[in-house]
Amino acid sequence: MLRTLLFLSLTALASAAEISFSRQIAPILIDQCVECHRSGKAKGGYRLDIIEQMLKAGDSKTSPLVASKPDESELYRLIATHEEDDRMPKKADALPEKEMKLIHEWIASGAKIDVADKKAALRSIVPEQEKAQAPEKYPHPLPVTALALNPTGTTLACSGYFETTLWDAATGKLQARIGGMPERVLALAWISKTQLAVAGGVPGRSGEVWLVNPMKPTERKRLVSARDCLLAMVASPDGKLLACGGADNQVRCFELPSGKLKWQIEPHADWIMGMAFSPDSQHLATASRDRTAKRIDASKGEIMATFTGHTCAVLSVAFSPDSKETISGDVEGEIRRWDSSGDAKKDGTLKPGGRTEMLVLGFLDAETPLVAMGSGAVVSMDAKGRKTKDQITRYEDRVNALLLQRYGKTVRIITVCHDGKVRIHEIGKAQPVLQFLASPGW
């Protein structure tokens, strides 16, 4: 009896050490390589979106995989080479050491493929990951990093840990939890009754965008699976387009409601931190860590203007209500105004709050820019007078997202903060009309 048990546990150990192609290797290739090596885009004449294809040499006629010989395998040679120009993934950082080692060990131990059907697509063989679950009760309040309001203004969607939570906007009561979302949700856009877009990921590892039906959350579709985190996402006011950007420096634009990719460009040399659609839905603005902000034609994906007036990373952008002007805010506390050709406006620098990040920008009305800052303040500005007009709120912690809601003459400002709180303010009232912690069970 004892002997059988010992035998069993030893075999369990042995098989645990064996590297699984479908669970461990395929996800790396999907995230890092398939984009350039697939049907319709086989760089170097090489595809690895299908197992059978992955085993065949490309233009070099050198075997990509030689069982037990990593150093003779072109695939391994190209990910491990120190020649940056040759290295895969092309024009990107080298794979993390852990992943490179895993591929090395997998080839060294025979490059076994644990799937019988060699015509299978890589994407189809990865087992539905045992994704970490959202906690039933949050052990402490989680910073809220994204916010959206449904089209009728009755429900708020907030970021959670591997989930998106829905809250009654009148009472602050939890309505629903949508699980299976990225670990960090960094942007939300509520497009229609049946479409909520969720973007996020894990920095340096993965980026995702999902379209979910909030009424029936099992109805969902993944629009993007990128190799780095998505940081910004916006829907056009006419509801026809959804654009996202992030740490892979790419901007992708999708048609709605289909979710079909319309265009994809790399307008920046560094992370895309903030985005906005013009009120007329014609243009898109991007803010980047590369110190520039851009105006892009939303129908074609062509860059129309580049604003180079910032001297540090740009975090946020907004269009004026007539869609003509743009304002952009940076990490060191400056907001600049520029026109549709990318030229700075005269007297176009606003400094509302000292050296703190300008995290979210908006317009209260045609003349009044609004900003939420790293210091926790939300202020409106006198655009011409270059000074703060009104301090609307001051919180203890950074304001990560801000929304404006208008009912007739009443304007509400909804914010979410690093302290985990959602607060709804009405302009003119000192105290919030509603505040709650968006951490279920807390």
Q: Which residues bind ligand HEC (CB under 6 A)?
A: 32-33, 35-37, 43-46, 57-60, 62, 64, 74-75, 78-79, 86, 88-91, 95
- Residue 29 CB, shortest distance to ligand HEC, in Å, is 6
In this complex, which beta carbon is closest to ligand HEC, that of residue 43 or of residue 177?
43
For ligand HEC, give the closer residue by CB, 57 or 411.
57
User: Which of the 8 DSSP states describes residue 313?
Assistant: -
C-beta closer to ligand HEC: residue 47 or 295: 47
Count Cβ neighbours within 10 Å for each residue of 326-343 and write b for 16 or more, e otherwise. bbbbbbebbbbbbbeebe
Nearer to ligand HEC, 25 or 371 (CB): 25
Least separation in angstroms between residue 66's CB and ligand HEC is: 12
Match 């989930």 to its residue by tokens.
163
88/276 with CB nearer ligand HEC: 88
Say if strands 37-38 and 41-42 run parallel, antiparallel, or are unpaired.
antiparallel
Strand order across the 293-297 sheet: 272-277, 283-288, 293-297, 302-307
Of 78 and 373, nearer to ligand HEC (C-beta) is: 78
Find, among 179, 186, 196, 172, the residue nearest to 128 by Cα.
179
CA pair distance 113, 335, nearest whole angstrom: 54
* Minimal distance, residue 117 CB to ligand HEC, in Å: 21
- Burial (CB count <10 Å: 0-12, 13-18, 19+), residue 68: exposed
Minimum separation from the CB atom of position 118 to ligand HEC (A): 18
Residues 18, 109: contact at Cβ < 8 Å? yes
List C-alpha distances in Å: 283 to 1, 84, 103, 262: 73, 36, 43, 14
Q: How far is the CB of 61 from ligand HEC (least distance, A)?
A: 7
| Nearest distance in Å: CB 244, ligand HEC | 19
Token duo for residue 290: 């590369």
How many CB atoms within 10 Å of residue 127? Answer: 10
For residues 62 and 323, which CB has a smaller minimum distance to ligand HEC in the complex?
Answer: 62
> With DSSP H G I counted as helix, E B as strand and the rest as coil, what are the percentages for the chain, rounded to 5?
15, 40, 45
Q: Which residue's CB is nearer to ligand HEC, number 62 or number 368? A: 62
Shortest distance (Å) from residue 62 CB to ligand HEC? 6
* 264/341 with CB nearer ligand HEC: 264
Closer by beta carbon to ligand HEC, 62 or else 109: 62
Residue 35 or 290: the one with the smaller Cβ distance to ligand HEC is: 35
Give me the least distance between CB of 47 and ligand HEC, in Å please: 9
The CB-of-269 to ligand HEC minimum distance in angstroms stands at 15
Contacts 24+ apart (CB under 8 A), 390-396: 392/425, 392/427, 393/423, 393/425, 393/432, 395/419, 395/421, 395/423
Distance CA 302, CA 309 (A): 21
Tokens linked to 288: 């980047």
Minimum separation from the CB atom of position 92 to ligand HEC (A)? 6
The rounded distance, in Å, linking the Cα atoms of 67 and 65 is 6
Cβ burial of 154 (10 Å; 0-12, 13-18, 19+) is: exposed
Cross-sheet strand order for the sheet of 195-202: 147-149, 155-159, 161-168, 174-192, 195-202, 206-212, 220-226
CB of 306 to ligand HEC, least distance (A): 23
